[in-house]
Amino acid sequence: MTFNIIVLAKQVPDTRNVGKDAMKADGTVNRAALPAIFNPEDLNALEQALGIKDQYPGSKITVLTMGPVRAAEILREGLFRGADDGVLLTDRAFAGADTLATSYALSMAIRKIGSFDIILAGRQAIDGDTAQVGPQVAEKLGIPQITYAEEIQEIDSQKVRVKRRLENGVEIVECPLPALITVNNSARACRPRNAKLLQKYKHARTITERQAESIDYIDLYSSRPYLNLNEWSVVDVNADPKLCGLSGSPTKVKKIENVVFQAKESKRLTESDEEIEELMKELIRNHTIG
Amino acid sequence: MDNLFVYLEIEDGVVADVSLELLTKGRSLANQLGCKLEAVAIGGNLGTVEKQIFPYGVDVLHIFNDERLSPYTTLPHTSILVKLFKEEKPQICLLGATVIGRDLGPRVSSALGSGLTADCTSLEIGDHEDVKTKKVYKNLLYQIRPAFGGNIVAWIVNPDHRPQMATVREGVMKKEIYSPIYTGEIVEHNVNEYVSDEDFVVSIIDRHVEKSKVNIKNASIIVSGGYGVGSKENFQLLYELADVLGGEVGASRAAVDAGFAEHERQIGQTGVTVHPKLYIACGISGQIQHIAGMQDSSIIISINNDPYAPINNIADYVIVGDIERVIPKMIKYYKKNTK
Ligand SMILES: Cc1cc2nc3c(=O)[nH]c(=O)nc-3n(C[C@H](O)[C@H](O)[C@H](O)COP(=O)(O)OP(=O)(O)OC[C@H]3O[C@@H](n4cnc5c(N)ncnc54)[C@H](O)[C@@H]3O)c2cc1C
Ligand SMILES: Nc1ncnc2c1ncn2[C@@H]1O[C@H](COP(=O)(O)O)[C@@H](O)[C@H]1O
């Protein structure tokens, strides 16, 4: 028994570093200072896929991402960790997509990939924390979904059994295949890169990446077809351009506003014993504490 | 047509607070729009739902009563909302940004092709002019939320698609009885006209729901730690302070991401919203996503070794110093002066 698995992964700015060194003096983020990373929970999703492949050798994992050409970096990262194939969905017409337009584009790419048993996604991407794309893709494909998954406990050709992590508890659910599962960060962490796979795939490139490099080892790419990463446009996936990118996004940003917090009259203290004791006394006196 | 709908989250026949908060907000938006407020209850055991929600000003309650509909599973609830919305054509739909709302909302929005904005911190009504076409839209829902990229908030609108959908976290909106004697109309729907057998392919084998061990939502004193606390071990200092003051420990997302504290303790736009009488921010810089969840605290103390940390602007007391030295002193002088 083998499974065809698609992992949805997004390259995101490392928003966890905001505030540490990426703030500009005017209070906005210096995006260039933020590394672009594999969305953390998408790595948890990849690990669940790799677990299935460990159990059922011969299963195939395809990582699918929509983004700029640079997002091919995470496809290679996926290959280094054990994925079998990567697809980059890139086109100017995809730019400015909200979650709905994103899910439309991804669902069209999944239709082009064709057969699949399971789609794994992260619960949410850290640049928005919205957790919308997974369920929206599932609806577009007309398949059931399991969100907030922590562990795929059992899988056979008919169904999958999954442990979900709820706000205050856990749920074990069983669902027929094909299905889409979104994975939480409470799931096992992703295994590291594998040195052999790193050697094997380090030259994997999309066509645009190859064109941008000064020397193109044509022979290398024709003799080792697995080094050619798929790069698909709107036309390649038969998508309707009106439903993609900005024009396919029902949500529009009306305006962006800079927030200035009303500076309060605050009392400034040092860490000296006297000042801290005085503060505690004041808080006790006015019944804030005690 | 054109009314405002709220999806009710119901566990064991009890409507969740987040839904009541949305009804309160929904009532005031509906008054502004001059439309009705309608609520949707889906599940088994819905006997007392009407009593619970009518005082919040609900004009119409749609009931889908069927044992198979609780506990919640995605597909039947989706099918019901999608068909109901096709019939009723609401202009706005609000859901809680909970595990259920975040499972259901995107599914419904995808089926209807309507926009959905997650984790709004404010909702308002207003007009909108499209910059390109100059077309003017009257009375849209402004879905306001902090945006990534600094201290900025984005105002999001859905000009051309209905319903305009938004999720809101628990505690963000206030819950307030509109009128204790308010009553609306009840519409009992025939569930079988809305769901099919295929909607029940996912089965729940086992389910454990516990009362949350962490209760920061209702704590009146919160000692909250950020990335500046430095380590999980240092967070112990915060637990000690919270313990002597009778408070709870909260955290910023950076502290949660770094593994210093559990996710349930995250305060902010995508965590819990709190309104304590005292909030002590330890090693927290004060990014807007964090402030969104705690700015209504009565008194704010910031302990930060950076005198210019943004959080200091909204603090009543700013202690410029290192948490490792300041917190033990706070504990010491509290004990000394209360004995
Ligand atoms: C979509 C999205 C959603 C988000 N949701 C949330 C949310 O819900 N809640 C949330 O909190 N954040 C959220 N964030 C993250 C938010 O933008 C900030 O990155 C985060 O709040 C920063 O946490 P921090 O203040 O602990 O860390 P930092 O910004 O790194 O600040 C650390 C502070 O500690 C101080 N410090 C360092 N050492 C010491 C010491 N020894 N003693 C005293 N002070 C010290 C430093 O001066 C600094 O001010 C979200 C971000 C995104 C993109
Ligand atoms: N551009 C994208 N390309 C591939 N997968 C995506 C993309 N955007 C979102 N996803 C997937 O959907 C999940 C939820 O994203 P979001 O709704 O943005 O929080 C992510 O964890 C990814 O698995």
| Amino acid A45: pLDDT | 98
Average pLDDT over residues A14-25: 69
| Amino acid A214: pLDDT | 79
ipTM of the complex as predicted = 0.95
| Amino acid B90: pLDDT | 98
| Amino acid A285: pLDDT | 94
**Chain-centre distance for alpha carbon A71:** 11
A98, A136, A257: residue with CB nearest B153: A257
First-to-last alpha carbon distance for chain B, in angstroms, is 64
| Amino acid A18: pLDDT | 66
B-interface mutation test, from A146, A151, A171, most B Cβ less than 10 A away: A171
Confidence of residue A21 (pLDDT cuts 50, 70, 90): low
Residues B148, A249: C-beta atoms closer than 8 Å: no
Tokens coding B280: 């002590």
| Amino acid A244: pLDDT | 97
Burial category of B185 from C-beta neighbours within 10 Å (exposed 0-12, middle 13-18, buried 19 and up) = exposed
Confidence of residue A217 (pLDDT cuts 50, 70, 90): confident
Q: Check: CB of residue B61 under 8 Å from CB of residue B184.
A: yes
More confident residue, A263 or A65: A65
Sequence-distant (6+) residues with CB within 8 A of A78 are A7, A9, A38, A46, A61, A63, A86
| Residue type (1 letter), B234 | N
Please name the residue of chain A whose CA is at the shortest distance from the CA of residue B74. Answer: A145
Q: pLDDT 10s per residue in chain B (339 long)?
A: 999 999 999 999 999 999 999 999 999 999 999 999 999 999 998 989 999 999 999 999 999 999 999 999 999 999 999 999 999 999 999 999 999 999 999 999 999 999 999 999 999 999 999 988 999 999 999 999 998 877 889 999 999 999 999 999 999 999 999 999 999 999 999 999 999 999 999 999 999 988 777 889 999 999 999 999 999 999 999 999 999 999 999 999 999 999 999 999 999 999 999 999 999 999 999 999 999 999 999 999 999 999 999 999 999 999 999 999 999 999 999 999 997
Residues B205, A172: C-beta atoms closer than 8 Å: yes
Place of tokens 């096709």: B86
Tokens coding B36: 């009705």
Residue in B227, B223, B247, B251 with CA at minimum distance from that of residue B237: B223
Residues A20, B149: C-beta atoms closer than 8 Å: no
Burial category of A1 from C-beta neighbours within 10 Å (exposed 0-12, middle 13-18, buried 19 and up) = exposed
Does the pLDDT at position A263 exceed 80? Answer: no
B-interface mutation test, from A271, A273, A284, A286, most B Cβ less than 10 A away: A271
| Amino acid A23: pLDDT | 66
Nearest ligand to the CA of A22 is 1
Does the pLDDT at position A236 exceed 60? Answer: yes
pLDDT in tens, A2-17: 999 999 999 999 987 7
Q: Which atom of ligand 2 is nearest to the CA of A137?
A: 12
pLDDT in tens, A26-63: 666 677 778 899 999 999 999 999 999 999 999 999 99
* Spatial separation of the C-alpha atoms in residues A72 and B208, rounded to whole Å: 41
Task: Quote the pTM value.
Answer: 0.95
Confidence of residue A95 (pLDDT cuts 50, 70, 90): very high
B202, B312, B333: residue with CB nearest A280: B333
Residues of B in contact with A173 (CB under 8 A): 73, 202-205
Residues B99, A173: C-beta atoms closer than 8 Å: no
DSSP result, A181-209: EEE-TTSPPPP---HHHHHHHTT-B-HHH
Count of residues in chain A: 290
Tell me how far CA of residue B137 lies from CA of B76, B94, B141, B161, in angstroms. Answer: 34, 20, 10, 12
Please name the residue of chain B whose CA is at the shortest distance from the CA of residue A30. Answer: B149
| Amino acid A26: pLDDT | 63
Share above pLDDT 90 across residues of chain A, in percent, rounded to a whole number: 84
Instruction: Name the pairing type of β-strands A60-66 and A4-8.
Output: parallel
Residues of B in contact with A181 (CB under 8 A): none
User: Other CB atoms closer than 10 Å to residue A54's CB: what's the count?
Assistant: 11
| Amino acid B36: pLDDT | 98
Angle between helices A273-285 and B323-338 (to 10 degrees): 50
- Interface check for A131 against chain B (CB to CB < 8 A): the answer is yes
Nearest ligand to the CA of A135 is 2
| Amino acid B325: pLDDT | 97
Between positions 254 and 283 of A, the ones with CB within 8 A of B are: 254-264, 266-271, 273, 275-277, 279-281, 283
Nearest ligand to the CA of A126 is 1
Distance B140 CA to ligand 1 centre (A): 33
B74, B151, B211: residue with CB nearest A145: B74
Sequence-distant (6+) residues with CB within 8 A of B54 are B61, B182, B183, B184
> Dihedral sign, CA of B319, B222, B291, A18?
positive
Q: What is the number of CB-based contacts under 8 A between chain A and chain B?
A: 255
Q: Which atom of ligand 2 is nearest to the CA of A134?
A: 12
Distance B308 CA to ligand 2 centre (A): 36
Kindly calculate the radius of gyration of chain B based on its CA atoms and give it in whole angstroms: 22
